[in-house]
């Protein structure tokens, strides 16, 4: 394993163990607030560690993924209010559009960073981003309901995971990798615009997958 990947694995393991411990010790009424603090803490800890360790590639990747993550609640908002295939339990935290908890603005960075970093350090980046994306997002979708983060409704699921969502999330990983690689040397507005474009593409991919992929797995 490349040393950067090994270090990223250690960083994320330590962060998620600490976050899990904090969540486990938190009363349910404060669950949303702790998730928001964890999302903010990650956005501080990751670039700080990158600077301290001299990982310019980590910092550049985080700087691309942050605006992408900030745009991602749009896609979830569409699933909640338009497609009606997603539900977020009420944890007493502000909801964007009355639909998506505020902490989701930061959670996408946590999932996409290790996926794209693995691809960047692979000899076969597109295969790596596909495999890592499936692994990470399937795990996230599987554990979301037991943790009370979100759950799918009115769609086909396998082991509690909405299949159509995984299809769109793989497309998201491909688009994010292509946009990051294509704009890394560009000006800040170009990179932010590319990140926002990836999020819009993901929103469309979700609706496409809902129309095309979900019926293939639906019963009846």
Percent of the chain surpassing pLDDT 90: 82
What is the distance between the alpha carbons of residues 63 and 69, in angstroms, rounded to a whole number?
10
Q: Which residue has the tokens 């769609």?
A: 155
Q: Which residue has the tokens 């486990």?
A: 24
- 14-18, 83-87, 165-169, 177-181, range with the lowest pLDDT: 14-18
Helix (H, G, I), strand (E, B) or coil at 129: helix
- pLDDT tens, position by position, 206-216: 999 999 999 99
Task: Tokens for 53, please give them.
Answer: 């360790």
**pLDDT computed for residue 30 by the predictor:** 84
First-last CA distance in the chain: 45
For the segment 68-88, the average pLDDT, to the nearest whole number, is 97
- pLDDT tens, position by position, 108-123: 999 999 999 999 999 9
What is the distance between the alpha carbons of residues 47 and 34, in angstroms, rounded to a whole number?
20
For the segment 41-51, the average pLDDT, to the nearest whole number, is 96
The residues near 16 (Cβ < 8 Å, ≥ 6 apart) are: none
**pLDDT computed for residue 1 by the predictor:** 59
> How much is the pTM?
0.93
What is the distance between the alpha carbons of residues 207 and 168, in angstroms, rounded to a whole number?
9
For the segment 172-187, the average pLDDT, to the nearest whole number, is 96
Please tell me the total number of residues recorded for the chain in this structure.
220
For the segment 11-23, the average pLDDT, to the nearest whole number, is 89
Name residue 100's beta-bridge partners. Answer: 96
DSSP for 170-191, please give it. HHHHHHHHHHHHHHTTS-HHHH
Count other Cβ atoms within 10 Å, centred on residue 115: 26
């Amino acid at each position: 394993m490349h040393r950067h990947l090994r270090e990223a694995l250690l960083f994320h393991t330590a962060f998620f163990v600490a976050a899990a411990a904090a969540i486990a010790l938190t009363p349910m009424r404060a669950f949303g607030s702790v998730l928001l603090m964890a999302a903010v803490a990650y956005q501080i800890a990751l670039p700080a560690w990158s600077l301290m360790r001299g990982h310019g590639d980590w910092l550049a990747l985080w700087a691309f993924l942050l605006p992408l993550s900030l745009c991602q609640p749009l896609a979830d908002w569409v699933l909640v209010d338009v497609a009606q295939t997603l539900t977020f339990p009420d944890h007493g935290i502000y909801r964007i559009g009355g639909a998506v908890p505020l902490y989701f603005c930061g959670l996408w960075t946590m999932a996409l960073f290790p996926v794209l970093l693995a691809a960047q350090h692979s000899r076969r980046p597109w295969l790596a981003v596909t495999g890592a994306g499936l692994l990470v997002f399937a795990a996230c979708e599987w554990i979301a309901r037991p943790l009370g983060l979100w759950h799918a409704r009115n769609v086909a699921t396998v082991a509690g995971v909405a299949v159509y969502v995984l299809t769109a999330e793989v497309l998201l990983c491909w688009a994010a990798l292509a946009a990051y690689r294509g704009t890394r040397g560009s000006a800040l507005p170009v990179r932010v615009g590319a990140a926002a474009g990836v999020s819009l593409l993901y929103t469309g991919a979700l609706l496409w997958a809902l129309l095309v992929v979900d019926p293939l797995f639906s019963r009846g």
